[in-house]
Amino acid sequence: MTRGPQHPKLSRRGGWTLLELMLGLAVMGVLTMIASSAYTSAVEKGRVGKAKADIAEFDVLIERYLTVHRDYPTSLDQFNYDGRLDPWGNPYHYTLLAGIKGSKGSARKDHKLNPLNSDFDLFSAGRNGVFKTQISQKDSLDDVIRARAGSYIGLAEDF
């Protein structure tokens, strides 16, 4: 018995093999992880940038308050900052240091325990919302700080 002519293309059905599907899914998974990581990093950089801009704006508002009232405000509520929260949903922290006895002890300090500022401290507690007095400690590395009387505004880990 002879069969009719067989075509090589007809012997394999169209579609994907299990191995091809698994390989395709693995490639898609790796690409998704890379894209997700890049997206998360970009969002975090944007949040840090927003906190830096807010702190710079508050610094200007505080200096304007000093010019008008001849003294620093005792809290952020004394000038028009609108109760703004940092990009992570936490309040900004402000501590008046100038003209208050014993205030140097409450000042935030660098890794050598030198105060960051002599006039006032202004910072965001960062992504984790936790901060320590010394900015080189693990909980404070993500803080966005104002240091050297406003000449540095940025991440504590970069200071």
pLDDT in tens, 13-39: 678 898 989 999 999 999 999 988 889
Taking Cα atoms as reference points, which of 119, 114, 120, 108 lies closest to residue 156?
108
In which element (H, E) is residue 36 found?
helix 18-69
pLDDT confidence tier of residue 7, bands split at 50, 70 and 90: low
Going by C-alpha positions, the residue among 138, 132, 128, 135 that lies closest to residue 152 is: 135
**Of 101, 120, 102, residue with least CA distance to 58:** 120
pLDDT tens-digit profile of 47-104? 999 999 999 999 999 999 999 999 999 888 887 778 889 999 999 999 998 866 555 5
Please report, in angstroms and rounded to a whole number, the separation of the first and last CA atoms in the chain: 87
List the beta bridge partners of residue 120: 96
pTM: 0.78
